[in-house]
Structure 1
Amino acid sequence: MTFYDGIYPFYPRQRTPFIFSLDLLTVILVFLVLAGTFCLILPGIRGKSRLFWMFRILLSLFIGAVIVAVNFSRDWATGGVKANTTYKSFSSAVVHADVGLWVGLSGINVTLKGDPVNQLNETINYNEMFQWTNILDEDYAEALERGLPSPILYIAEKFTLNSPCGLYHQYRYAGRYTSATLWTAFCCWLIANILFSMPVIFYAGCMMVTTGAFIFFSLASFATIQNIPPCNFTMGAVSMEAGFAKGTLGFAGLLCTLLGLLVVILDSVVPETLREAFGVSGDVEGEQPALGKQYLNPGFVEGKDINTHLHGDFKVSLSSRKVNLIL
């Protein structure tokens, strides 16, 4: 449908639906590259420790990838409804479509997919993004200028600053505090991995428990939106449910907590075995260092034999070439 000379009143170019977040895809690819790089060097690790190192590294990368990826996910809360609704402004044409709402930490996505997809001589398949960072009213005003379908504009209007539903403040601030807590959990995860390469395994376990605690704090921060009154939508009841991101993050938090507690308990029971498993060495508290055969610089004895004598708590036997220290 055109006005004149090929000018379209709506959608001047062929539109394609939003498929996958590029930020989320970048995070996944980065961690996949790290995992692939480790798999390449894995054959160089000898003995039975190879399987332990593989399990340890891949599990740690999984936890780190989940913590970062959910920051860019739009699957924290989802809702949808099947409705017969008007398609465009100033038109009485009605379409049968699935309207979906996807809430993330940095904004929302509103989807519209026709059933069937081709109706009114058009392909009805949209996925529009509205960001908190730009103050959603700006994205909403731009959507009005672009002439997006009425169902998308109707849902987006409920999240604007002046909407009586009050969804903007609740979801935006809940997402802000949740994101800040998650980045804190990511920093704790980095510190824990650094400590695992040192002879302070106990503190590494404590940091893993701390990582799990901040993950649960982030889930609690986002759960505050459940206290807001539901907003009525004229096109039908849009019930919000927990998304895949919350379930995955909860699993990662539980995994962090259990692994951290396990490390803390094993460090108290079998510290030497645990250090050996992680490939680190260090003096155990309260244990005297073992002294073996030591050698003395010949320049200190000037070619003379020195009789055996006591020095402090050690019996020192000196010759012209070597010294034996015996407890």
Structure 2
Amino acid sequence: MTFYDGIYPFYPQQQTHFIFNLDLLTVILVFLVLVATFLIILPGIRGKSRPFWMFRIILSLFIGAVIVAVNFTSDWAAASVKTNTTYKSFSSAFVSAEVGLHIGLSGINVTLKGSPVEQLNETIDYNEVFRWTDILDKDYTDALERGLPNPILYIAEKFTINSPCGLYHQYRYSGRYASACMWTAFCCWLVANVLFSLPVILYAGYMMLATGTFVFFSLASFATVQNVPVCTFNVGTVSFQTHFSVSFWLSLATGVLCFLIGISVVILDCWMPERIREAFSVGVDDPDEDSSLIGCYLNDSFLDEGNPLPPENVTLTVIRRIIFAIYSKR
């Protein structure tokens, strides 16, 4: 309902704010279950390979968890500022609050937390999500109708499709390409783990290098937004700009770790292939052993006075005995 010409009324009731990303929670729980499963079967591994096996599994699961989780986090870039600002439309009341902007691959989070939290007889603690979808403008309109605080609406308006800042297209497409590269890195990570359980450790090292490469491609894709003209955010009397945050640096560290693992495996496989196969508990091929040859044994009854016959005499003797056995039955 509106007053007239699209002007929305003041909504005094407290709105329910975003609490936690359920997709991120699901990823964390899945990988925690995998870690718990491997720890349960750890006592069944004998010998000195147990510590190395445990370290390798936990490190691999950490890399996989980071690659998947950063697709759902909202802190690839962030900004925060404390200021005095107007609270809601059609009101001249000011509040002291901390305003935060958190940008992820799939959308943004805008936070508003009062300092103190209880002001104007309300609890000022908001965390609102706006996704990179074709209906983001509709979500912004819904936020206007819900009567969200002015700082949240001001920042969200900067990311609408028709905003002069053009942030919507910049962050949406860079985030889309970054997410695609991350999922490709996850596929390479899966293939690398399969190859580590086979006697092809060299190719597992190559796949770890490919994993790190696609992680770096993802970081480069998201970092391209820093080359566009800066759009200034003015909240109250204070302005702020975004900077790379936790997920970006964690992804960078994971990419470097994948590169170090891949390079180490490739070098060790070329230098001491038997030792590295032994470390990963995979079989070592013996070039002198031909598995296609099966040992043959000669019955003593085919030997004359304990002395082996020449190969051609042995064959003739066997044929004669078979023919004799057939005719004797008749």
Q: TM-score, normalised by structure 2?
A: 0.85
Pair 1:304-2:302 in alignment: yes
Pair 1:103-2:124 in alignment: no
Query: Residues 117-169 of structure 1: CA distance to partner in whole angstroms, max 9, x if unpaired?
Result: 11111111100000002432121011011111111000000000000011001
Q: Partner of 2:30 in structure 1?
A: 30
Q: Which moved more, 1:274-283 or 1:211-220?
A: 274-283
Q: Secondary structure at the match of 2:83?
A: strand
Q: Partner of 2:4 in structure 1?
A: none
C-alpha distance in 1, partners of 2:127/2:168? 19
Q: Partner of 2:184 in structure 1?
A: 184
Q: Secondary structure at the match of 2:239?
A: coil
Q: Any residues of structure 2 matched to 1:153-164 within 5 Å, and which?
A: 153-164=153-164
Give 1 or 2: higher helix fraction.
2
User: In terms of Rg, which structure is larger?
Assistant: 2
Query: Residues 81-134 of structure 1: CA distance to partner in whole angstroms, max 9, x if unpaired?
Result: 222111111111111111110000000000011111111111111000000024
Q: Secondary structure at the match of 1:214?
A: helix
C-alpha root-mean-square deviation of aligned residues, in Å? Answer: 2.4
C-alpha distance in 1, partners of 2:309/2:64? 62
Query: Residues 3-33 of structure 1: CA distance to partner in whole angstroms, max 9, x if unpaired?
Result: xxxxx95265x54443321111110111011
C-alpha distance in 1, partners of 2:217/2:28? 24
1:234 Cα shift? 3.1
C-alpha distance in 2, partners of 1:179/1:271? 36
Cα distance change, pair 205–54 in 1 and its aligned pair in 2 (3 A): same
Equivalent pair of 2:111/2:125 in contact (CA under 8 Å): yes
C-alpha distance in 1, partners of 2:310/2:33? 62
Q: Any residues of structure 2 matched to 1:12-161 within 5 Å, and which?
A: 12=13, 14-161=14-161
C-alpha distance in 1, partners of 2:153/2:242? 18
Equivalent pair of 1:81/1:99 in contact (CA under 8 Å): yes
Percent of residue pairs bearing the same amino acid type: 64
Cα distance change, pair 209–11 in 1 and its aligned pair in 2 (3 A): farther
Q: Secondary structure at the match of 2:160?
A: coil
C-alpha distance in 2, partners of 1:249/1:60? 14
Q: Partner of 1:224 in structure 2?
A: 224
1:232 Cα shift? 2.4
Pair 1:277-2:270 in alignment: no
Pair 1:258-2:260 in alignment: yes
Task: Look up the equivalent residue of 1:224 and give its one-letter code.
Answer: T
Uncovered stretches (5+) of structure 1, i.e. residues with no partner? 1-7, 311-315, 321-327
Uncovered stretches (5+) of structure 2, i.e. residues with no partner? 1-8, 319-330
Query: Residues 165-200 of structure 1: CA distance to partner in whole angstroms, max 9, x if unpaired?
Result: 110010000100000000000000000000011110
1:230 Cα shift? 1.4
Equivalent pair of 1:16/1:125 in contact (CA under 8 Å): no
C-alpha distance in 1, partners of 2:47/2:207? 29
C-alpha distance in 2, partners of 1:88/1:308? 106
State the structure with bigger RCO (CA 8 A, min sep 6), 1 or 2. Answer: 2
Q: Partner of 2:199 in structure 1?
A: 199
Paired residues in the alignment total 301
Equivalent pair of 2:10/2:89 in contact (CA under 8 Å): no
1:297 Cα shift? 6.6
